[in-house]
Amino acid sequence: MHYPPTATNLHYQAGFGNEHASEAVAGALPQGCNSPQRAPLDLYPELISGTAFTAPRHENRRSWLYRRQPSVVSGRYQPYAQTGWSTGADRAIALPPEPLRWHPIPLDGAETAGADFVDGMCTLAANGDAEAQVGIGSLVYRANRSMQRRAFVNADGELLIVPQQGRLVLTTEMGVLEVKPGEIALVPRGVVFKVALPDGPSRGYVCENYGAQFRLPELGPIGSNGLASARDFQAPVAAYEDSSGAYELVKKFGGRFWCAPMQHSPFNVIAWHGNLTPLKYDTANFMTIGSISFDHPDPSIFTVLTSPSDTHGTANCDFVIFPPRWLVMEDTFRPPWYHRNLMSEFMGLVYGQYDAKPGGFKPGGASLHNSMVPHGPDEEAFERASHADLKPQKLDNTLAFMFESRYRLVPTAWALQSPALDTDYADCWAGLKDRFKP
């Protein structure tokens, strides 16, 4: 496919971790080997490795790209100013041991005027260390301008993108993905991409994963089917852009930003094959599992993707969603229970209402409940659920999510000083009285 395709004629390949093969021009893929002495159509073979060469075969991620010019052809890098996107935990921040919440981050304002996806990115909270390849950043983007002859590549981590307002069209080295609210995109570390805004000003959330790559969680006694199905993840087909003309490439590398001029488009891949690729996923395809007897089950049953840590069963990051679902539990307080958790929870709301916070938590907002910080339903949710008629109930037109990490998430100075910070958040529990009746 020759770029630019339109949204109506985009095609995808199916499968998470699959071995894909695609060519925009027939005959561009070599047969029987990866790097022939002369590649078909006089293209340059280039390997991108998302894991070490010796990673176990079931975890190994790499793709071969056949392109008009290799990635080494670019200008010299110069420092680039992007002060809102920080990396890792800022140990100078005095982190309060209390719940935090942000109202929807506004799209307008001086700091987002004319900003594209890269310049409109701000870190709300982060942990870990990109150099040690551990931890995550929890970010929001507010974009008012499409990226034209401009591209971005992140050498520090993969990006899990959760649109909240407005569709995104991601042009990547492997092809084009269109992602709308309710869908997610996953861009591997090191893959070049740019973002267009077909609906105008757009907002959403991003998890920058410095650690092990996201993968589908193990299903255990659930069996062979359930949660997110591998076949519902979609990879792009090969597409290329007219190569001539000036381009700017912005790179995030070691927590700093750099830019380099190019005299051609980086989206010049005519064919590719492999299992390292950008992906999209529609959360409407998630097979939600819940209790059909009593009690609210652990939220881990809503895990879409997981990035493991060196401690088995304790994630560097779990991506968890709370989609539309039925509640049928008998004699049960149906919202999430009051909780103190080893894991730290960054939460966002794409659309609708979250059942544990029906009033104060709005689409485009965020909350942070760090390790062992108490949290749970607010007073309104408690009163309603404690006296509800326990008929089968459909929670519909809602989509909340969590980036959950074993490491404490430290808010940035920008987040703590933001006018969107809800300084009265803890008051939502102030009306919970002592009801003890001996």
Note the Cα 190 to chain centre separation in Å: 15
Q: What is the C-alpha separation between 63 and 276, in angstroms, rounded?
A: 5
Buried/exposed code over 149-163 (b: 16+ C-beta within 10 A; e: otherwise): ebbbbbebbbbbbbb
Annotated binding residue at 210? no
Bridge partners of residue 189, in order along the sequence: none
Annotated binding residue at 339? yes
Q: What is the C-alpha separation between 37 and 211, in angstroms, rounded?
A: 36
Contacting residues for 121 by C-beta, under 8 A, at least 6 apart: 82, 84, 85, 139, 140, 141, 206
The DSSP symbol for 287 reads B
**Identity of the amino acid at 159:** L
Q: What is the C-alpha separation between 99 and 370, in angstroms, rounded?
A: 7
Give the C-alpha distances (Å, rounded to integers) separating 375 from 52, 95, 226, 281, 313. 40, 17, 29, 30, 23
Annotated binding residue at 338? no
Annotated binding residue at 98? no
The DSSP symbol for 354 reads B
Bridge partners of residue 2, in order along the sequence: 240
Is 296 one of the catalytic residues?
yes
Give the C-alpha distances (Å, rounded to integers) separating 365 from 124, 294, 351, 392. 11, 31, 10, 29
Kindly name the residue from 20, 296, 369, 387 that is annotated as catalytic.
296
Indicate the annotated binding residues.
Answer: 339, 345, 354, 375
Which residues are annotated binding-site positions for homogentisate?
A: 354, 375
Active-site residue set: 296
| Feature table: binding site for Fe cation | 339, 345, 375
